[in-house]
Amino acid sequence: MSAQTTPRLIRGRILTFLENPSQESAASAYHFYEDGALLIANGKIADVGDFSDVQARASVNLGAEVAVVDHRPHLIMPGFIDTHLHFPQTQAIASYGAQLLEWLNTYVFVEEQKFESAAHADFIAGRFLDELIRNGTTTAVAYCSVHKQSAQSMFAAARQRNMLMVGGKVMMDRNAPEALRDTPQSGYDDSKALIEAWHKPDQRNYYAISPRFAITSTPEQLEMSKALVQEFPDCYVQTHLSENRDEIAFATSLYPAAKYYIDIYAHYELLTPKTILGHCIHMCDREVSLMAERGAVAAFCPTSNLFLGSGLFDHDRFAKLGARISVATDVGGGSSFSMLETMSEAYKIMALQGQKLSPLQSYYMLTLGNARALGLQDKIGSLHVGADADIVVLDARAKPAMDLRMDVAATLEDELFILQTMGDDRCVSEVYIAGKAMKSAL
């Protein structure tokens, strides 16, 4: 699917971030245009500012009136970014009554075996991406199944929608059903073939080398993962770390030379600025400091950590120690595709630890913060000239209870917090991907 090419103006109340509001004064951390406009051309943002100014410049520069899509009084923001979720678990979401390792064996590994079928992988890939769009997410970092076909299906579906997606087939050669195990060599070969076929940044596809976690990879497979990282340094790396105490005990028993779980990944040189580590809950200061030193990113997965009873991510400790943080749904351990609902749970997890998460910081994390975590801030995560036109339109009055609450909202921060606390996919009025309206077409 090609990007939108005919220039047009998207009008509404525009919010975009410049910096992290927790590190800068709020006034200098973002731009807000009460009556703003984005000029969209060839799938990118060509101008942004007050509506009257952008319209006037467009008329002069283009020599004609430009069509206007008016979303007032809704908020217009960069599309949401999700840094950790599992595409093959789309139908495993809401599976009852287990913590991590039991949950994987009882539900997830059963579900993921279905992705040997190309027809099934194609079907779920389309539904998965449409559900992201429905919830305002325009970019995600996804685990596929062990099957090469699953990654092919996801990337093909993403290319059809022109979505910027990061993903990769998981590598796992032990402690899983035989039907879900590869070998160190086949995992390497399949991953390399997928990288060569699908790692195409100019086509908005990015590959992530994906050893699932230390429990399901032998030392030989982690050596092969290391080889892939060295051979393809522009690819991402994704794996899991310290989600659950039983997981930590099992992983360190398999790698007895490692004092801490993170030492396993450090030994195989898998900690890089392009590494995304899911969860990172039960970690000491030394481990967090090592992440900060290597530039690896923690993916904070609030709904999943609560649903599986895994624990509480210590956001402020990571920030204090200089570690990079992103936020993610972790579907299907996560209980919602909605990044709004994800941030609602993030607020509660932080509150339980005496920490504050302001509305402005929440939306920074969903947009520019997650883009920076991926090193893609020049392309996505903000509404600056030259950025890809990935946009979400939010309606804070989409539900009756929200409409009533909005009657007494006094500030932009009030509106943002209402959306975060009470919102879901019904609040996503429209989604643009590379300038093309997508949600209304579902």
Q: How far is 406 from 352, CA to CA, in rounded Å?
A: 26
Number of domains in the chain: 2
Instruction: Identify the pLDDT of residue 134.
Output: 99
CA-to-CA dists, residue 113 to 73, 331, 383, angstroms: 46, 17, 40
Q: Is the pLDDT of residue 1 over 90?
A: no
Q: What is the DSSP string of 121-181?
A: HHHHHHHHHHHHHHTTEEEEEEE--SSHHHHHHHHHHHHHHT-EEEEE-EE--SSS-GGG-
Rounded average pLDDT over 11-20: 98
Map residue 400 onto helix, strand or coil: helix
Q: Are residues 66 and 85 in the same domain?
A: no
Q: Are residues 309 and 269 in the same domain?
A: yes
Rounded average pLDDT over 221-250: 98
Instruction: Identify the pLDDT of residue 285.
Output: 98
Instruction: Identify the pLDDT of residue 325.
Output: 99
User: Looking at the domain assignment, is residue 2 inside a domain?
Assistant: no
Contact 51, 37 (CB under 8 A): yes
Q: Is the pLDDT of residue 137 over 90?
A: yes
User: Looking at the domain assignment, is residue 406 inside a domain?
Assistant: yes
Respond yes or no on whether the N-terminal peptide bond of residue 73 is cis (omega within 30° of 0).
yes
Q: How far is 132 from 129, CA to CA, in rounded Å?
A: 5
Rounded average pLDDT over 133-158: 99
Q: Is the pLDDT of residue 4 over 80?
A: no
Q: How far is 408 from 401, CA to CA, in rounded Å?
A: 12
Min mean pLDDT across 2-16, 27-41, 271-285, 337-351 is at 2-16
Q: Are residues 208 and 303 in the same domain?
A: yes
Q: Are residues 112 and 161 in the same domain?
A: yes
Q: Are residues 177 and 98 in the same domain?
A: yes
Helix axes 118-134, 148-161, angle to 10 degrees: 40
Q: Is the pLDDT of residue 89 over 80?
A: yes
CATH number at residue 144: 3.20.20.140
pLDDT in tens, 101-128: 899 999 999 999 999 999 999 999 999 9
pLDDT in tens, 263-291: 999 999 999 999 999 999 999 999 999 99
Instruction: Identify the pLDDT of residue 23.
Output: 72
User: Among 311, 337, 363, where does a domain finish?
Assistant: 337
User: Looking at the domain assignment, is residue 363 inside a domain?
Assistant: no
Burial of 68 per CB tally in 10 Å (0-12, 13-18, 19+): middle
Q: Are residues 305 and 251 in the same domain?
A: yes
Q: Are residues 326 and 407 in the same domain?
A: no
- Strand bridging mode 8-17 / 324-327: unpaired
Q: Are residues 182 and 243 in the same domain?
A: yes
Instruction: Identify the pLDDT of residue 176.
Output: 96
Q: What is the DSSP string of 316-367?
A: HHHHHTT-EEEE---TTTSS-S-HHHHHHHHHHHHHHTT----HHHHHHIII
User: Looking at the domain assignment, is residue 360 inside a domain?
Assistant: no
User: Among 303, 337, 371, where does a domain finish?
Assistant: 337
pLDDT in tens, 311-335: 999 999 999 999 999 999 999 999 9
Q: Is the pLDDT of residue 145 over 90?
A: yes
Between 231 and 4, the higher pLDDT residue: 231
Q: What is the DSSP string of 199-215?
A: -BGGGTEEEEEEE--GG
Q: Are residues 133 and 70 in the same domain?
A: no
Instruction: Identify the pLDDT of residue 262.
Output: 99
User: Looking at the domain assignment, is residue 401 inside a domain?
Assistant: yes
Q: Is the pLDDT of residue 25 over 80?
A: no
Instruction: Identify the pLDDT of residue 164.
Output: 99
User: Among 306, 337, 368, where does a domain finish?
Assistant: 337
User: Looking at the domain assignment, is residue 412 inside a domain?
Assistant: yes
CATH number at residue 436: 2.30.40.10
By residue range, what is the domain housing residue 138?
Answer: 80-337
Instruction: Identify the pLDDT of residue 130.
Output: 99
Q: What's the pLDDT band for 360 if we cut at 50, 70, 90? A: very high
pLDDT in tens, 374-415: 999 999 999 999 999 999 999 999 999 999 999 999 999 999
Q: Are residues 69 and 124 in the same domain?
A: no
User: Looking at the domain assignment, is residue 415 inside a domain?
Assistant: yes
Provide the mean pLDDT of the chain.
97
Q: Are residues 74 and 107 in the same domain?
A: no
Half-sphere exposure of 418 (CA within 13 A, CB side): 24
Q: Is the pTM of this model over 0.85?
A: yes
Q: Is the pLDDT of residue 421 over 80?
A: yes
User: Looking at the domain assignment, is residue 104 inside a domain?
Assistant: yes
Q: Are residues 262 and 405 in the same domain?
A: no
